[in-house]
Amino acid sequence: MMNYDLIVIGSGPAGRRAAIQAAKLGKKVLVVEKGTRVGGVSVHTGTIPSKTLRETALNLTGWRERGFYGRSYRVKQEISAEDLRRRLLITLDHEVEVLEHQFARNRVHHLRGRAEFVDRNTLSIEKNDGEVLRVTATSILLAIGTRPYRPENIPFDGEKIIDSDELLEIQEIPRSMIVIGAGVIGIEYATIYSTLDTVVTVIEPRASMLDFIDKEIVEDFSYQLRDRNMKLLFGETAEKVEREPNGKCKVTLASGRSLHADMVLYAAGRSGATAQLNLEAVGLKPDSRGRIKVNPETFQTDVPNIYAAGDIVGFPSLASTSMEQGRIAARHAVGAPASDPPQFFPYGIYAVPEISTCGLTEEEVKARHIPYECGIARFRETSRGHIMGLDNGMLKMIFSLKTRRLLGVHIVGEGATELIHIGQAVLNLKGTVDYFVENTFNYPTLAEAYKISGLDAWNRMGELHEQIVEAAQ
């Protein structure tokens, strides 16, 4: 029986970062991956495929150039599913090659097979060739990720009524699509296919979408989607989904309304891939969506030597935060000092347009009764925005009136997920509005929007300060 310091189940962002971190500390590490290739959900069905699909769609449609050349502008007139898949396969092969090289370079052992618990230190691994091994470890990290939630009342057929994993395998781009669920995954795919001229309708039972994002940003985002003829049906529940004799799909809403489309994408949540782990053997019980409760500082489960990180522990379910969770968990598991998880991290939504946010929303600031002021910049106000032909896009910053510190930064528009890191740095370093006013930004850049937003807030903060002084006198 082979013994390790750390066994990691899953090779996604959390698993691979944990394994490499422990190996760099001189520990003996094994990664178990049930898929045919390393990389986990992130590489094969999640983060990398969806972002590659997005970039391919934007490039082939000429979406970014339409501000100059009109809505009818195309780089490639006829775009097929094969066009989208070709770039995806190249990207995935590269990602797997890089990851396998990292494991080899750091002497991380890895096995392809399905693992289940025998006891808190022992795993039984059924390899892909049928051989069964038993391995032990001082600590075990669960980084098994999630899979699409598939309720029994949805007649998935892998062709026309599909989940987000199956979307990557479709044979042709549909002329119309109904997306059930306006969460991050649903709205990303809905907007990507909208750029491909698919007529998209989004159904969401809540009264709004992306409730963790600043409301003003969501309103601007929603306006942009509706402006390009996407239908957003909030407060509506899909009661029945079925195939029609003509091959199309029919969705009946609880309100009695019927919708028809070539394809239905069900993207209302994901479930933890815990079913085959035999967690009962170690006394762990996941919640109704298969997620595992952990200590948010160490990522230990209720069993001290068993850790969990990544999507399996729930929000925020980002590749970036999963990597950091895995690293912290690995350091704690092998007895190395570990820093606390970062207070402020960026959240990126790779829709079209992008959304990215860091820090407090305006709604959270109000709920905490913090006196504040906002600064707004529109991308069309920047010279770079003119050069790029941008009609939309905005950057919003929120500052404390008392301390002048930045409390939150929120962006919707081109390059949002790149631009957010300037605000993230200022937040974590406890910077103030004066940083943006007194510093110079490259010109012409979209980052200049920080200067414009800072000045917008600074001008009104100054007026408010004078009023406060006058009132005190």
pLDDT tens digits along 135-175: 999 999 999 999 999 999 999 999 999 999 999 999 999 99
Of 39-43, 122-126, 256-260, 386-390, the range with the lowest mean pLDDT is 39-43
CB-side neighbour CA atoms (13 Å) of 198: 27
Of 192-196, 220-224, 343-347, 447-451, the range with the lowest mean pLDDT is 343-347
- pLDDT given at position 341: 77
For 72, which DSSP code?
T
DSSP of 327-342 = HHHHHHHTT---PPPP
- pLDDT given at position 465: 52
Q: Are 431 and 406 in contact (CB under 8 A)?
A: yes
What pLDDT band is residue 466 in, cutting at 50, 70 and 90? low
Instruction: For 456-465, give one letter per residue: b (16+ CB within 10 A) or e.
Output: bbbeebeeee
Rounded average pLDDT over 73-99: 91
Percent of the chain with pLDDT strictly greater than 90: 83
> At residue 469, does pLDDT exceed 50?
no
Rounded average pLDDT over 335-363: 93
For 305, which DSSP code?
T
Average pLDDT for the chain: 93
From residue 207, alpha-carbon distances to 17, 182, 204, 210, 435 in Å are 38, 11, 8, 10, 38
Helices 416-428, 448-472: inter-axial angle, 10-degree rounding: 40
Task: Please give the helix or strand (H or E) that residue 223 lies within, else none.
Answer: helix 215-227
> At residue 470, does pLDDT exceed 60?
no
Per the model's pLDDT, the better-predicted residue between 342 and 296 turns out to be: 296
Structure tokens at 451: 């200067």
